[in-house]
Structure 1
């Protein structure tokens, strides 16, 4: 399975990097391909290193302005002109999407993927791996949108939340069937 992961390009402490490293190991040992932002920095680098060490494949989609941060060990590295093209390429190459901790870029990526899914422009599983409660506010906001009628599809059809790396990978299983 080609699994797109959105996450931070910043180096973060162990409470964030350890779940990312564990998810990477599981992804690689499962023979999956990581489709990610192509960077060697921060959690992106942790993910790529872990997947590679565990025998998985790496497909990076890098935007030109960040070419200097490209991961040198990728099996495939795609260069895009801008962030919009990068997001489109990431989604196109993925069978499923997993969201780890991140900042504004990660939030932008996940909301675009959800907007596209809301309009049935894809039906790929979207899972938020949230081991620390980092996304409690996002989850609460999405639940409120669902409860108050702002979503044309039930929230559970758009996104799921996982409390562990193993649970996140298990929630993607329907994508591989």
Structure 2
């Protein structure tokens, strides 16, 4: 497990726990020599997790569309920063670099990325583990909606199980590592 994509907000959110968990995740990535792959921004939880990895001697690869970089939101001190033209290219390139995905709290962009990678996994276009760090119960209502989708026949139970969920960083990383141990 050398690299993991993290999807998260370009805002820090209103509860300080979100920023604290993003910082803690970055510290653990650095300690475990896991390269962070993320959207390349310097704002919000994105900037927090990247800064924490870098501050603790870790490696960070960012992927950012040129139009966002032009708005001066690109992080300037990453290990690597790749520029792409579109958001679609960004999402594709990020998962090409990674062996797993973790979603922290975020807004539309985070949800878009999370559900697209879940759809790719369901269609066998992506084969890595996908997890959500359910900080402060942030994803509780979404998880209820996924269960409703199964109950109402729109989502197969085995596809619902593609999403790994934990409110603990250590447990989530252990489950992601366990995925690869079972696969090979």
Same fold (TM over 0.5): yes
Structure 1 residue 56, shift from structure 2 partner: 1.5
* Matching residue of 1:55: 57
When normalised by structure 1's length, the TM-score is 0.94
Q: Secondary structure at the match of 2:117?
A: helix
When normalised by structure 2's length, the TM-score is 0.91
- Quick check: 1:125 aligned with 2:129? yes
- Quick check: 1:174 aligned with 2:178? yes
* Matching residue of 1:149: 153
Structure 1 residue 153, shift from structure 2 partner: 5.6
Q: Secondary structure at the match of 1:166?
A: helix
Structure 1 residue 151, shift from structure 2 partner: 2.4
* Matching residue of 1:20: 22
For 2:141 and 2:178, the matched residues in 1 are separated by: 27
* Matching residue of 1:139: 143
Relative to 1, partners in 2 of residues 1:171 and 1:135: Cα closer, same or farther, differing over 3 Å?
A: same
For 1:79 and 1:35, the matched residues in 2 are separated by: 13
Mark the runs of 5 or more structure 2 residues left unpaired by the alignment: none
Question: Aligned pair count?
Answer: 177
- Quick check: 1:90 aligned with 2:91? no
The question of whether the paired residues in 1 share the 8 Å contact of 2:23 and 2:49 is answered with yes
Moved over 4 A (4+): none
Mark the runs of 5 or more structure 1 residues left unpaired by the alignment: none
Aligned partner (choices 73, 77, 83) of residue 73 of structure 1 = 77
* Matching residue of 2:105: 101
* Matching residue of 1:9: 10
The question of whether the paired residues in 2 share the 8 Å contact of 1:143 and 1:155 is answered with no
Counting only pairs closer than 5 Å after superposition, residues 109-120 of structure 1 correspond to structure 2 as 109-120=113-124
Q: Secondary structure at the match of 2:46?
A: helix
How large is the Cα RMSD of the aligned pairs? Answer: 1.4
